[in-house]
Chains A and B, each alone.
Chain A
Amino acid sequence: MSELKDHAALAENFNADELRVNWHDETLWFIRQKRDRSAHAIPDWELLRETASQIKHNVLSNLSEYLEQFEANAKANGVIVHWAVDAREHNQIVHGILKKHGVKEMVKSKSMLTEECHLNDYLAENGIEVIDSDLGERIVQLAKEPPSHIVLPSIHKKKEEVGELFHKHLGTAPGVSDPQVLTETARQHLREKFLTRRAALTGVNFAIAETGEFVVCTNEGNADMGAHLADVHIASMGIEKLIPQRKHLGVFLRLLARSATGQPITTYSSHFKKPRKGHEMHLVLVDNGRSIHLGREDFRNSLKCIRCGACMNTCPVYRRSGGHSYHNAVAGPIGAILAPNFDMKKAADLPFASTLCGSCSNVCPVKIDIHNQLYKWRQVIVQEGYADSKKTLGMKAMTQTFASPATFRLAGKAGRWFMRNVPLAVSNKLNPWYKQREMPVPPKESFGEWYRKNRK
């Protein structure tokens, strides 16, 4: 079998078109800035983050109890609850429900979990057509690509490319690229799907142990259009999506959209508690490696993630390498700390796709120490022998350097001298992060030197 391309190689493809990379970079940075404005408008933002993080901590430490409580309450509400150990079982359960109802076509709203499980492919193999109803997801589905971002699935696509796809698949006139016109076309196209599909699958943003209800957030209204028109509503959720009580939604709903896009809240925050009279509501609780992840002390915090995408928007590596270079359903910094848990060998390159600048940890609404985990994964991956040799060498040197403050000071000094005098030598092939980049001009003196000199 041929070696799969790693993040660096895939990023190189993405970097071939510099104008496009710049555009991608700026678009995401623009969203990051909107997030900042929105967060700064809340005086208690840090307290809100801390509270959310602590609630999630409580959730993780009592997860088995909350799962049982949630199941009991959901059942009492008339919801049919399923448990799936892995992706395969999840797909089989969904297929089983559809088969029972003789359903051959289904609409689906955004669910990264079903991407993780490759549900669409599985159902297609079994003769069931899935239509993704989120506009961004529909775009990448028509392009036969996976989403490149968990909140903005088609963020890597130019409007002209969307226009081409719509011309080919939805019959718009050639050359049309006006977002207004294209969105209207998708609206008409998907409305027909909503009205004719008898089954709808949605993701879950939050599930409440205390009440057995679950909340789905969208801006487009596609989850609701699907669920309220279909005979059967299936909701798929990872077991870490639980929160203890309804009132905790106040905390999480304030954080989610502000962190994601800078909106004060998504247009719709839909609370599904009971099925419509005479209809079925199914809920699939999926483990797929999460319970094992829970046992890794250094990494379990990543299960607090509420999938806002802020860490991706802020990440200098994500912005300039694109979501597809992470070859994982969830890209960016969070993807890079979740993926090695599932398959350390396949994801061995991902924790290295970072500058460890820490910007991700700073914006994370549930205060996951993302950059620390990236650093820790690197060591685990090297120890387990999965790292490639170039990185192992650098890693060893770096570990030694950081282990001794004296060497660190020296290395810094030498590095600065080296960069000032032979910059091109640093920006060479051996240093994967300097491809397509000029090195910044190094300061004449380090902060350490400056501080010592100016400290009275």
Chain B
Amino acid sequence: MSSREQILASVAKNQPIPVALPEIPIFSSEKSDLVEKFTTVAVGIGSKVFRVNSLKEAKQILLKEHKASKRIISTFPQFSDVAEVSIVPSTDPHTMEDVDLAILEAHLGVAENSALWVTEELLPMRVTPFICQHLALVVSPKAILPLMHHAYEQIGMKDYGFGVFIAGPSKTADIEQSLVLGAHGPRTLTIFLLEEQ
């Protein structure tokens, strides 16, 4: 008997009588302004949040905040004057090693925890939002949803190779519980809530 068969047989023999899967109840969510809630939580965990009316405005803010950035990459063609905007997916991910700033798009955000949902199709390559020194994510304020349940409702059965919720800059508190931002991933996260024109 293969290990697979052995495990499945043992599990089948020992599992209790089937219990029905519960419905996910409708959970109560914040009545207050979603964008406000999102912003408060995001700032609370170390992100910076800006409401902007155009990518141009976002660019001005970023160039001021990240003056020292040498290598910038983005998926927005509007950044082509300051960033590499056409990285092909077949690029060796190791070449992203020296990226100072990456400016990418998120599908949606979640007010209760300020997490932003990004899938592979919005990334030059999977490693980008992790390997860059600083990360900026652009999302529409209309795409801010109250709870994680709403986010998964929206995501539904969509296919992707890789997807990630990102909430704040990378961090650790493994040395005596002192919070340090910038563990292995980005040291900062800047979020732009871009009003659609």
Contact A228 B127, beta carbon cutoff 8 Å:
yes
Q: Which 4 A-B pairs have the closest CB atoms?
A: A221-B185, A295-B14, A264-B113, A220-B183
Q: For B19, list chain A residues within 8 Å (CB).
A: 54, 57-58, 61
Query: How far, in angstroms, from A195 to B97 measured CA to CA in the complex?
Result: 8
Give the residue of A180, A273, A300 whose beta carbon is less than 8 angstroms from that of B160.
A273
CB-CB contacts below 8 Å: B6-27 with A:
6-8, 10-22, 24-25, 27
Is B197's beta carbon under 8 Å from chain A? no
CB-CB contacts below 8 Å: B138-168 with A:
147-149, 151-153, 155, 157, 159-168
Given A247-B24, A251-B24, do A265 and B183 touch, yes or no (CB 8 Å)?
Answer: no
Contact B161 A31, beta carbon cutoff 8 Å:
no
Q: For B17, list chain A residues within 8 Å (CB).
A: 61
Give the residue of B8, B148, B171 whose beta carbon is less than 8 angstroms from that of A220.
B171
Q: What total of chain A residues lie within 8 Å of the partner, measured CB to CB?
A: 89
Give the residue of B2, B159, B164 whose beta carbon is less than 8 angstroms from that of A268.
B164
Contact B8 A159, beta carbon cutoff 8 Å:
no
Contact A295 B13, beta carbon cutoff 8 Å:
yes
Given A89-B3, A246-B157, do A269 and B127 touch, yes or no (CB 8 Å)?
Answer: no
Q: For A136, list chain B residues within 8 Å (CB).
A: 172, 174
| Chain B residue, CB-CB nearest to A89 | B3
Q: Residues of B with Cβ closer than 8 Å to A?
A: 2-4, 6-8, 10-22, 24-25, 27-28, 41, 45, 89-90, 93-94, 97, 110, 112-115, 125-127, 130-131, 147-149, 151-153, 155, 157, 159-178, 180, 182-186
Given A64-B11, A159-B175, A300-B16, do A274 and B161 touch, yes or no (CB 8 Å)?
Answer: yes
**Distance of B70 from chain A, by nearest CB (Å):** 17
11 residue pairs A–B, Cβ–Cβ below 8 Å: A31-B177, A51-B25, A62-B15, A183-B172, A221-B183, A221-B185, A222-B183, A224-B185, A244-B21, A247-B149, A273-B161
Is A253's beta carbon under 8 Å from chain B? yes
Q: For B186, list chain A residues within 8 Å (CB).
A: 221
Q: For A266, list chain B residues within 8 Å (CB).
A: 167
Q: For B172, list chain A residues within 8 Å (CB).
A: 135-136, 183, 219-220
**Distance of A435 from chain B, by nearest CB (Å):** 27
Contact A220 B175, beta carbon cutoff 8 Å:
no
The segment out of A120-128, A186-194, A404-412 that lies at the interface is A186-194
Contact A48 B126, beta carbon cutoff 8 Å:
no
Dominant secondary structure at the B interface: loop
Given contacts A152-B177, A250-B149, 6 further A-B contacts (CB under 8 A): A43-B28, A136-B172, A247-B24, A270-B164, A271-B162, A277-B90
**Distance of A278 from chain B, by nearest CB (Å):** 9
| Chain A residue, CB-CB nearest to B14 | A295
Query: How far, in angstroms, from A191 to B170 measured CA to CA in the complex?
Result: 14
Contact B163 A273, beta carbon cutoff 8 Å:
yes
Give the residue of B12, B27, B94, B126 whose beta carbon is less than 8 angstroms from that of A44.
B27
Is A249's beta carbon under 8 Å from chain B? yes
Query: How far, in angstroms, from A221 to B166 measured CA to CA in the complex?
Result: 10
Q: For A276, list chain B residues within 8 Å (CB).
A: 126, 161-162
Query: How far, in angstroms, from A449 to B129 measured CA to CA in the complex?
Result: 63
| Chain B residue, CB-CB nearest to A210 | B157
Contact A247 B153, beta carbon cutoff 8 Å:
yes
| Chain B residue, CB-CB nearest to A191 | B184
Contact A273 B162, beta carbon cutoff 8 Å:
yes
Is A375's beta carbon under 8 Å from chain B? no
**Distance of A181 from chain B, by nearest CB (Å):** 9
Contact A58 B22, beta carbon cutoff 8 Å:
yes
Is A67's beta carbon under 8 Å from chain B? yes
**Distance of B57 from chain A, by nearest CB (Å):** 27
Give the residue of B27, B148, B184 whose beta carbon is less than 8 angstroms from that of A253.
B148
CB-CB contacts below 8 Å: A213-261 with B:
219-222, 224-225, 228-229, 239, 244, 246-251, 253-254, 261
Contact B15 A294, beta carbon cutoff 8 Å:
yes
Q: For A277, list chain B residues within 8 Å (CB).
A: 89-90
Q: For A4, list chain B residues within 8 Å (CB).
A: none
CB-CB contacts below 8 Å: A271-318 with B:
271-277, 285, 287, 291-292, 294-295, 297, 300
Q: For B125, list chain A residues within 8 Å (CB).
A: 228
Given A162-B175, A264-B41, do A60 and B16 touch, yes or no (CB 8 Å)?
Answer: yes
Query: How far, in angstroms, from A27 to B175 measured CA to CA in the complex?
Result: 12
Give the residue of B2, B8, B169, B183 whose beta carbon is less than 8 angstroms from that of A64.
B8
Contact A55 B22, beta carbon cutoff 8 Å:
yes
Is A116's beta carbon under 8 Å from chain B? no
Contact A267 B22, beta carbon cutoff 8 Å:
no
**Distance of B94 from chain A, by nearest CB (Å):** 6
Q: For A195, list chain B residues within 8 Å (CB).
A: 94, 97
| Chain A residue, CB-CB nearest to B27 | A44
